[in-house]
């Protein structure tokens, strides 16, 4: 029994499944009011991908603390954020450069747990993401949907070191538990980062997000971007980001990160999985809401090209990233040349993999060509997911796996044509060959 005498600080509190919540301990309206607008009118700017990502995070009033550690090709994100904050004396936002990526991941745990109503972003790449792994796997299970880890894709592993962008880093982290969304092009990068935390922080989801884009190809090359006014962004996000129903460290009487016995471990993992799967319901709703407000496509499971309103296609291509654009530009000419109907999807949501939507889209294809751009010991990460998605069809299309663009190499028109020819041969009754590597129009 305490006999200490001091002024009391009585605050109303409510009981939650995770402890007591003192909802009024943090006055978020003051954080919102203190935000210094970056953009007051819709405008078109020319920026690279890292800058697009930086602008998106800077424009959110919920982003007040930016943690990072430099690694190519993601470094310009933290540099841009730091430069903008340094240039704005009215801003109370802070940048925190830590000593290693692992420290950044730990820092995100502490920050996001401290206040679950703010968004804590960072950006990393390749072995930087690998270095975070011990904690990203904890984060994925943590319920801290207010963590946003922007992965600027770069080939992982240092033997050989390659600083260009293939998605082997993000695909190696499929089981970390994050919602992984791939963006291509500056506008999609910007828009994706504005929407991702709306999904992650949804009360039914509470799962951290990992939006990503290709290093060098998208991170370092510039293009036009429509930048939205901060107030519109805030209005959109406020619609989706409600106060977290669970206590944080500052506004709670709570414990986070407990260990459990194996008996109870099952329940925790099942809950984690269900929250992740709820993203399949929430993400399209957020995307539709975004499109209504801003007039551009919002988050979706995948981008589509060439699909007829009725009937099937001979070849369906599954890919991701900016090289899919090369396929989009040659699709019609190849279609005419081969006398086939050819369509494709570029995956946006990597985890949780939208199996049902993919199955529905590909069910009408005779052959599915899956282009994998990351090293894999088997037929490719995407291939396995696509095959799994199609496995429940009574007569699934034949799947042709291919590897191209490893290490960020361009997937040229010649390479796309070579892979399409391989799919065409299978469509004509040929055998499906083991997954081959394609480069510069040749099978290696």
Binding residues for other proteins (CB under 8 A): 1-4, 6-11, 13, 15, 19-20, 22, 25-31, 34, 64-65, 67, 92-94, 96, 98-100, 102-103, 106-111, 113-115, 118, 134-135, 138, 247-250, 252-261, 264
Label residue 336 exposed, middle or buried (CB < 10 Å: 0-12, 13-18, 19+). exposed
Q: Which is nearer to other proteins, 7 or 394 (CB)?
A: 7
Contact 290, 191 (CB under 8 A): yes
Q: Which is nearer to other proteins, 94 or 274 (CB)?
A: 94
| 3-state per-residue secondary structure call for 296-355 | CCCCCCEEEECCCCCCCEEEEEEECCCCHHHHHHHHHHHHHHHCCCEEEEEECEEECCCH
CB contact burial 229-263 (16+ within 10 A = b; e otherwise):
bbebbbebbeebbeebebbbbebbeeebeeeeeee
Find tokens 């072995």 and name the residue. 127
Which tokens sit at 41?
Answer: 């009118």
Q: How far is the CB of 1 from other proteins (least distance, A)?
A: 7
Q: Which helix (H) or strand (E) covers residue 443, if one does?
A: strand 442-443
Q: Which is nearer to other proteins, 22 or 301 (CB)?
A: 22
Q: Which is nearer to other proteins, 254 or 364 (CB)?
A: 254
Q: How far is the CB of 288 from other proteins (least distance, A)?
A: 32
Picking from 210, 199, 102, 200, the residue whose alpha carbon sits closest to that of residue 150 is: 210
Q: How far is the CB of 108 from other proteins (least distance, A)?
A: 7
Q: Which is nearer to other proteins, 27 or 395 (CB)?
A: 27
Q: How far is the CB of 149 from other proteins (least distance, A)?
A: 15
Q: Which is nearer to other proteins, 100 or 336 (CB)?
A: 100
CA separation (Å) from 355 to 198, 385, 393, 435?
A: 22, 7, 12, 21
Q: How far is the CB of 303 from other proteins (least distance, A)?
A: 36
Q: How far is the CB of 100 from other proteins (least distance, A)?
A: 6
Q: Which is nearer to other proteins, 115 or 370 (CB)?
A: 115
Q: Which is nearer to other proteins, 71 or 113 (CB)?
A: 113
Label residue 200 exposed, middle or buried (CB < 10 Å: 0-12, 13-18, 19+). buried
Which tokens sit at 122?
Answer: 């960072």
CA separation (Å) from 44 to 8, 80, 217?
A: 53, 18, 21
The DSSP result for 164-201, as a single string, is S--THHHHTTGGG--EEEEE-SHHHHHHHHHHHHHHHT
Q: How far is the CB of 120 from other proteins (least distance, A)?
A: 8
Q: How far is the CB of 178 from other proteins (least distance, A)?
A: 16
């Amino acid at each position: 029994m305490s006999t200490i005498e001091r002024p009391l600080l009585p605050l109303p509190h409510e009981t939650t499944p995770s402890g007591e919540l003192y909802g009024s301990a943090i006055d978020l309206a003051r954080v919102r009011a203190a935000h210094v607008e970056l953009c007051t009118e819709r405008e078109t700017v020319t920026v690279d991908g890292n800058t697009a990502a930086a602008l998106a995070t800077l424009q959110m009033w919920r982003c007040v603390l930016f943690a990072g550690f430099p690694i190519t090709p993601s470094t310009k994100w933290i540099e841009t954020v730091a430069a903008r904050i340094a240039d704005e004396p009215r801003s109370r936002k802070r940048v925190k450069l830590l000593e290693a990526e692992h420290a950044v991941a730990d820092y995100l745990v502490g920050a996001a747990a401290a206040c679950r109503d703010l968004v804590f972003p960072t950006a990393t790449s390749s072995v930087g993401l690998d270095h975070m792994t011990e904690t990203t796997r904890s984060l994925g299970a943590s319920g801290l949907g207010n963590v946003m880890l922007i992965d600027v894709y770069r080939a992982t592993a240092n033997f050989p070191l390659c600083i260009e962008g293939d998605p082997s880093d993000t695909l190696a982290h499929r089981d970390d538990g994050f919602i992984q969304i791939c963006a291509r092009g500056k506008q999609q990068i910007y828009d994706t980062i504005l929407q991702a935390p709306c999904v992650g922080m949804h009360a039914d989801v509470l799962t951290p997000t990992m939006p990503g884009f290709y290093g060098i190809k998208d991170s370092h090359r510039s293009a036009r971007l429509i930048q939205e006014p901060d107030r519109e962004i805030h209005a959109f996000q406020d619609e989706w980001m409600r106060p977290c129903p669970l206590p944080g460290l500052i506004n709670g009487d709570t414990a986070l990160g407990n260990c459990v016995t194996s008996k109870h471990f099952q329940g925790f993992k099942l809950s984690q999985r269900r929250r992740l799967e709820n993203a399949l319901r929430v993400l399209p709703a957020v995307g539709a809401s975004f499109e209504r407000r801003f007039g551009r496509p919002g988050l979706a499971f995948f981008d589509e090209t060439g699909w007829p309103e009725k009937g099937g296609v001979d070849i369906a291509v599954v890919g991701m990233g900016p090289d899919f654009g090369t396929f989009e530009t040659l699709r019609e000419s190849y279609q005419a040349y081969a006398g086939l109907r050819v369509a494709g999807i570029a995956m946006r949501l990597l985890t949780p993999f939208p199996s049902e939507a993919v199955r529905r889209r590909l069910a009408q294809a005779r052959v599915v060509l899956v282009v994998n751009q990351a090293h894999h010991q088997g037929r490719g990460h995407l291939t396995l997911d696509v095959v799994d998605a199609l496995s429940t069809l009574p007569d699934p299309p034949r799947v042709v796996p291919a590897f191209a663009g490893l290490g960020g190499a361009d997937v040229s028109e010649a390479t796309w044509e070579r892979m399409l020819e391989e799919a065409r041969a299978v469509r004509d009754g040929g055998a499906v060959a083991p997954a081959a590597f394609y480069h510069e129009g040749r099978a290696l």
